[in-house]
Amino acid sequence: MEKADQSAQQGETSLARLRGVGPQMQRRLAQLGIHSIADLLFHLPLRYQDRSRCVPIAELRPEDEALVEGEVVGSEIVSGRRRSLRVYLEDQGARLLLRFFYFSANQAERLRPGLRLRCFGAVRLGPGYQLEMVHPEYRSLEGPAPLADNLTPIYPTTEGLQQGSWRNLTDQALGWLGQEPEAVTDWLPVEVHADPGLPGLREALMLLHRPPRDTAWEELLAGSHPARQRLVLEELLAHQLSLRRMRKQRQQFAAPPLAGSGALCQRLLAQLPFRLTGAQQRVLGEISGDLQRDQPMLRLLQGDVGSGKTVVAALAALQAVEAEHQVALMAPTELLAEQHLGRLRDWLVPLGVVPAWLTGRHKGQERARVLQAILAGEARVVVGTHALFQAELRFHNLGLVIVDEQHRFGVHQRLQLREKGAVDGRVPHQLIMTATPIPRTLAMSAYADLDLSVIDQRPPGRQPVTTVAVPDSRREEVIARVREACGRGRQAYWVCTLVEESEVLQCQAAEDTAQRLAESLPGLRVGRVHGRLKPAEREAVMAEFVANRLELLVATTVIEVGVDVPNASLMVIENPERLGLAQLHQLRGRVGRGEAASHCVLLFHPPLSEQAKTRLAILRDTDDGFVIAQKDLELRGPGEVLGTRQTGAMQFRIADLGRDQALLARAQRLADEILERFPERAGPLIERWVGRGGDYARV
């Protein structure tokens, strides 16, 4: 109960002071991070019910959630497919059916005609177009009974804790807050927060737990009520303070200054068949400047699909090599790591720099040889996957870590790689790349401790991709389109997806689809790529496709990132409704990489949900990754966009970065002012809202 001890030190009162809270209840509350009465007060309702007025039965409509009163005028137990107790409630001539599928004999006996009930539940249209409530909450009335003065809160819960228990606990906690107004400290100094539009902390908590019946219902539902915004502001502020603290901690480390003559970089630029865009040159200048400092770079490099991040990373790597330091480039999948390896070999081997390659499949003498070359410093650039984390791998003088598709790695994995280069208090520089553009709102909040570089310009010759959505009933038309494109000398992708997460089923779908397409397209050379192929087989198929010895490549989503075939101009994605916006945009980015007009066909299976329709419409309307990222944020929320559901990274309790964007700039200003004038308040705010999650942005 270390967290409970910390809370007690801050004057927060133990839950044991509340009636009905024994060891078992404390264990249940601890599952939700509640260790003190103050924690309980910051466990806010998800939504509210209006039990402050009775609705006449005659005014009920399907899908209403309402409180009603009436007299039982009949009841019966009905047998059939599902045995049920039916109770008929009447109010001023209008009737409502109460239906119970789970009931006791005693309950059936009590609910007899003449009994007056007050019921709350969801109204639906039952058989025979009769309005009914299924398993409503109810109580019998002996006489007039007062109605609630407040809207009824509904709390996030866990097994064994019913809503009645939550209301009992929070009633007690609010009573404690009323008796001891200073018991929950308002850490926002009046000097920096004076705002007539937002209430104080105590007032905000009281209102959100027990909103008066006349509280603006729409504002509560939308999360825009001033009381909620007051707490949202505090939570955003706590995250900003946490990120600033991390940035300060990072500045306490030293890093090796990586400054060379620039000769290798100039030789690479001279041999490239293209010129860097203005955006690439700007970003390269930012990175180069960071690498020459004696403080560790921690820079996030964003760029849309095909914007040219890899060549920027290669030039950064050469700067480290010139300064006689090693570089590690880590990718989340073997296929993407292989793509990086191939590019780097093409660019660096002519310069006398041979990249090493390390993945989990390297075994025995081959593995030992690579590990020895890395330890001796002979391998100056090392490309790999999660194998780079392994304990037996040691670097000679690691100066730069490049992490691609960073959101696919957990926080601790990235920390492990950084620690491998820690020598005499110095840590390597880090360049973190993503081809999934992150909305500015999210970057301001989730990556406020990172420096941000954005490649916001397309290389010359990159064509926009025309996107259409087609039902799978028109599959034959789509196959004909593939035949036509390949007949003109172009190449095509056909991507298979399944609902199941099983890699085996995904791969079998690709095998079956490849066979059917080969039968439908005689004369076309069809290849297939999926995760169950041996690496050598997969590499051979990809090499055939790159060399234009295959016209059609059938694949699972393993080709989402890294594959670069300029001659491919058509992408077919089956069941796109099963993928997120960002993943669909990544897949679509495999075409449009050459000079030919390119197309993406989204072959969906109707009927589509409303959200799926919205996603496909967004993809049809734009191919701007930053616009798509913003829409993805609005649809899925920050946890999904950042991949933090899996990594345990940044989680907001009540803030919503899509909804609360307007408060972000204010939270940043408050953070700066508190650190300057009231630094002692930063720790308690971080502890209240972020807790031990405060390490989420360490990379």
pLDDT higher than 90, residue 481: yes
Tell me what pLDDT residue 537 has.
83
pLDDT band (50, 70, 90) for residue 447? low
The answer for 687, left when phi > 0, alpha when psi is -120 to 50, beta otherwise, is alpha
Q: pTM surpassing 0.75?
A: no
Residues in the chain: 699
CA separation for the pair 87, 72 (Å, rounded):
7
CA angle 400-385-552, nearest 5°? 120
pLDDT higher than 50, residue 646: no
CA separation for the pair 135, 204 (Å, rounded):
34
Q: Which residue has the tokens 């990072």?
A: 250
CA separation for the pair 177, 37 (Å, rounded):
9
CA-based radius of gyration for the chain: 31
CA separation for the pair 208, 220 (Å, rounded):
8
pLDDT tens-digit map of 305-321: 778 899 999 999 999 99
**Which residues does residue 467 pair with via DSSP β-bridges, in sequence order?**
600
Among candidate residues 642, 655, 649, 660, the one with its CA nearest the CA of residue 235: 655
> Most confidently modeled of 115-119, 141-145, 426-430, 608-612?
115-119
* Cβ count near 435 (within 10 Å): 24
**Which residues does residue 454 pair with via DSSP β-bridges, in sequence order?**
302
The kind and range of the H/E element at 79 are: none
pLDDT tens-digit map of 108-141: 999 999 999 999 999 999 888 899 999 999 999 9
Secondary structure (3-state) at 169: helix
pLDDT higher than 70, residue 175: yes
- Phi then psi for residue 14, to 5 deg, are -65, 145
Which is more confidently placed, 444 or 21? Answer: 21
Least confident span in 317-326, 487-496, 616-625, 654-663: 654-663
pLDDT higher than 90, residue 508: no
Residue 639 token pair? 């946890």
Domains and CATH numbers, the chain: 2-48+153-215 (no CATH), 53-147 (2.40.50.140), 263-455 (3.40.50.300), 465-622 (3.40.50.300)
pLDDT tens-digit map of 3-22: 434 443 444 578 988 999 99
pLDDT tens-digit map of 260-298: 889 999 999 999 988 999 999 999 999 999 999 999 998
- Mean pLDDT of the region 647-674: 79
pLDDT band (50, 70, 90) for residue 505? low
Which is more confidently placed, 450 or 696? Answer: 450
* Residue 585 amino acid letter: H
Residue 266 token pair? 């100039």
Q: In this structure, is the dihedral angle defined by the CA atoms of residues 182, 185, 186 and 190, taken in order, positive or negative?
A: positive
* Residue 126 amino acid letter: G
CA angle 476-477-483, nearest 5°? 90
Burial of residue 394 (CB within 10 Å: 0-12, 13-18, 19+) is: exposed
- Phi then psi for residue 140, to 5 deg, are -85, 150
Least confident span in 47-61, 235-249, 337-351, 429-443: 429-443
CA 386 to chain centre: 21
CA separation for the pair 38, 687 (Å, rounded):
12
CA separation for the pair 359, 382 (Å, rounded):
10
Mean per-residue pLDDT over the chain, rounded: 85
Strand residue runs (E) in 295-354:
298-303, 326-330
Residue 329 token pair? 């480039």
pLDDT higher than 70, residue 666: yes
Residues 396, 421 contacting (CB under 8 angstroms): no
Among candidate residues 314, 459, 452, 290, the one with its CA nearest the CA of residue 383: 314
pLDDT higher than 50, residue 499: no
- Phi then psi for residue 54, to 5 deg, are -90, 135
The full DSSP string for 336-347 is HHHHHHHHHHHH
* Residue 689 amino acid letter: W
Tell me what pLDDT residue 159 has.
86
Q: Are strands 84-91 and 94-100 parallel, antiparallel or unpaired?
A: antiparallel
Residues 170, 209 contacting (CB under 8 angstroms): yes
pLDDT band (50, 70, 90) for residue 531? confident
CA separation for the pair 123, 615 (Å, rounded):
32
pLDDT band (50, 70, 90) for residue 183? confident
